[in-house]
């Protein structure tokens, strides 16, 4: 533990605000909560690392506690490190190893995405998977696309383009929703911005959230090296995934003490905000008479960059965007796919159902792929990324 961690730990004033905002502690007594698992137990873990309460596995790594703590205690990092210690000292289910390797699952799906999607729809196999592996038979599985984003992406040389960006799509866009990445490329090309993509490793967040910190550190080191190279070549780096953004920008440094200062990853809408500031943002929108319900992902809140997509979508004529303001969706990556966590995840998500019923939007949108999947599962309606709405408004 560094001196900085020590100071952060001693800053805890025991107000319990983190406990009252923790979505998991709100719905289950199985989780001792952020204060007890974070600063309270950390004092003991400093002396004896094995003092890790097993309930740490119930922390979903949503990072709400960090956002609300008035004293700046980095609770989720403490919890991630504690989970890492717990995992290194105990046997963990094979399921957790598999669920954390989303990139590997994506690569395996390439053998036959249709077959993988079909097998995932067979109830008997899902029940078997729950019994043998502990993967919930109820949770909607991600749908694998026929072609990955990297296969579908075509580099476009633009005349007189002064701007170049490197796009980090993340595993979910690459393997499951390539249309999101393609719409981003269209929007950026529309602004005469050239887009480059490259083969990156998974950001490692699912591996971190499952406590395999040593493995995740290797991912971090490889990604940092590539990101530094592109930043040094003058590329601005952007992503459409808030969780990848948070991991690449902050988690590598906070968890592994790696140097992330040589690059900066922007949210796609933060980048578009820059174009607005520089007077280069196009507003040749079609009218869109549509009511949208917007869900802010927890990791976008944790990134502390506000909600850049909402400001930009408000520029589209006749489009109305309303914040669902329903808190965490509950899925938290692989968390809600685990048999014992699925009911917790669904209970947390009830606020989303209520908000959608009350607002009755014609379309729900959110930046995070996992939030999209959970809201789709909860409301039985497809959810889009805000960049898809923007691309539609431009008629691209
Ligand atoms: S919100 Fe912060 S200061 Fe308050 S109990 Fe939690 S960790 Fe301590
Ligand atoms: S990261 Fe989320 S689930 Fe974990 S302690 Fe903090 S608020 Fe609770």
Ligand 1 center to 74 CA (angstroms) = 9
User: Which residue's alpha carbon is at the smallest distance from atom 3 of ligand 1?
Assistant: 12
User: Which residue's alpha carbon is at the smallest distance from atom 8 of ligand 2?
Assistant: 22
Tell me the pLDDT band of 38, cut-offs 50, 70 and 90: confident
Give residue 235's pLDDT.
96
Can you tell me which atom of ligand 1 is nearest the CA of 17?
Answer: 1
18 lines ligand 1 (CB under 6 A): yes
Rounded distance, CA 76 to CA 67, Å? Answer: 10
Residue 291: phi, psi to the nearest 5?
-100, 120
Summarised one tens digit per residue, pLDDT across range 249-258 is 999 999 999 9
Q: Ligand nearest 22 Cα, by number?
A: 2
Give residue 18's pLDDT.
94
User: Which structure tokens are listed for 82?
Assistant: 């504690």
Ligand 1 center to 28 CA (angstroms) = 19
- Angle (nearest 5°) at CA 101 between 99 and 107: 115
- Angle (nearest 5°) at CA 81 between 97 and 347: 65
Name the helix (H) or strand (E) containing 321: strand 319-323
Rounded distance, CA 371 to CA 321, Å? Answer: 17
Summarised one tens digit per residue, pLDDT across range 179-215 is 999 999 999 999 999 999 999 999 999 999 999 999 9
Q: Determine the longest span between alpha carbons in the chain, in angstroms.
A: 62
Nearest residue to 342 (alpha-carbon basis) of 334, 127, 369, 116: 334
Domains identified in the chain and CATH numbers: 3-89 (1.10.1060.10), 290-393 (3.40.50)
Give 281's strand partners. none
Nearest residue to 326 (alpha-carbon basis) of 369, 357, 286: 357
Give residue 3's pLDDT.
54
How many residues in total does the chain contain?
A: 396
Tell me the pLDDT band of 49, cut-offs 50, 70 and 90: low
Q: Burial-class residue 30 by CB neighbours within 10 Å (0-12, 13-18, 19+).
A: middle
Q: Ligand nearest 77 Cα, by number?
A: 2
Residue pair 258/227 in contact (Cβ under 8 Å)? The answer is no
* Half-sphere exposure for 69 (CA within 13 Å, toward CB): 23
Chain-centroid distance of CA 295 in Å reads 13
Tell me the pLDDT band of 99, cut-offs 50, 70 and 90: very high
* Half-sphere exposure for 32 (CA within 13 Å, toward CB): 14
Reply yes or no on whether the pLDDT at 90 is more than 90: no
Summarised one tens digit per residue, pLDDT across range 356-387 is 999 999 999 999 999 999 999 999 999 999 99
Crossing angle (nearest 10°) for helices 102-109 and 113-120: 110
Count of Cβ atoms closer than 10 Å to residue 369 Cβ: 27
62 lines ligand 1 (CB under 6 A): no
Tell me the pLDDT band of 143, cut-offs 50, 70 and 90: very high
Q: Ligand nearest 55 Cα, by number?
A: 2
Ligand 2 center to 223 CA (angstroms) = 26
Q: What 3-state class would DSSP assign to 195? A: strand
Residue pair 349/329 in contact (Cβ under 8 Å)? The answer is yes
Residue pair 232/262 in contact (Cβ under 8 Å)? The answer is yes
Chain-centroid distance of CA 195 in Å reads 22
Residue pair 53/46 in contact (Cβ under 8 Å)? The answer is no
78 lines ligand 1 (CB under 6 A): no
């Amino acid at each position: 533990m560094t001196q900085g961690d020590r100071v952060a730990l001693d800053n805890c004033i025991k107000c319990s605000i983190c406990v009252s905002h923790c979505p998991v502690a709100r719905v289950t007594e199985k989780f001792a909560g952020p204060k007890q698992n974070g600063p309270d137990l950390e004092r003991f873990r400093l002396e004896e690392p094995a003092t890790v309460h097993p309930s740490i596995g119930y922390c979903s790594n949503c990072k709400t506690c960090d956002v609300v703590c008035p004293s700046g205690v980095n609770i989720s990092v403490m919890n991630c490190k504690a989970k890492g210690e717990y995992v290194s000292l105990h046997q963990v289910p094979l399921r957790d190893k598999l669920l954390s390797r989303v990139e590997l699952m994506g690569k395996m799906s390439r053998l036959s995405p249709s077959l993988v999607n079909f097998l995932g729809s067979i109830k008997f196999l899902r029940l078997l998977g729950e019994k043998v592996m502990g993967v919930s038979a109820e949770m909607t599985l991600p749908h694998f696309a026929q072609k990955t984003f990297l296969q579908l992406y075509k580099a476009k040389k633009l005349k007189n383009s002064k701007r170049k960006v490197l796009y980090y799509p993340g595993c979910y866009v690459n393997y499951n929703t390539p249309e999101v990445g393609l719409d981003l490329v269209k929007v950026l090309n529309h602004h005469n911005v050239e887009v480059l993509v490259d083969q990156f490793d998974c950001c490692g967040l699912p591996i971190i959230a499952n406590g395999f910190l040593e493995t995740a550190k290797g991912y971090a080191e490889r990604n940092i090296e590539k990101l530094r190279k592109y930043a040094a070549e003058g590329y601005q780096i952007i992503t459409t995934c808030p969780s990848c953004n948070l991991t690449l920008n902050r988690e590598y440094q906070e968890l592994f003490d790696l140097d992330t200062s040589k690059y900066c990853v922007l949210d796609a809408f933060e980048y578009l905000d820059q174009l607005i500031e520089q007077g280069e943002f196009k507003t040749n929108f079609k009218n869109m008479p549509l009511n949208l319900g917007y869900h802010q992902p927890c990791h976008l809140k944790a990134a502390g960059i506000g909600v850049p997509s909402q400001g930009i979508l408000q520029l589209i004529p006749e489009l109305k965007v309303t914040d669902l303001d329903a808190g965490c969706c509950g899925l938290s990556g692989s968390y809600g796919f685990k048999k014992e966590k699925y009911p917790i995840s669904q209970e947390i998500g009830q606020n989303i159902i209520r908000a959608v019923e009350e607002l009755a939007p014609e379309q729900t949108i959110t930046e995070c792929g996992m939030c999209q999947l959970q809201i789709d599962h909860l409301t039985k309606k497809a959810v889009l990324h805000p960049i898809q709405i923007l691309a539609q408004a431009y008629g691209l």
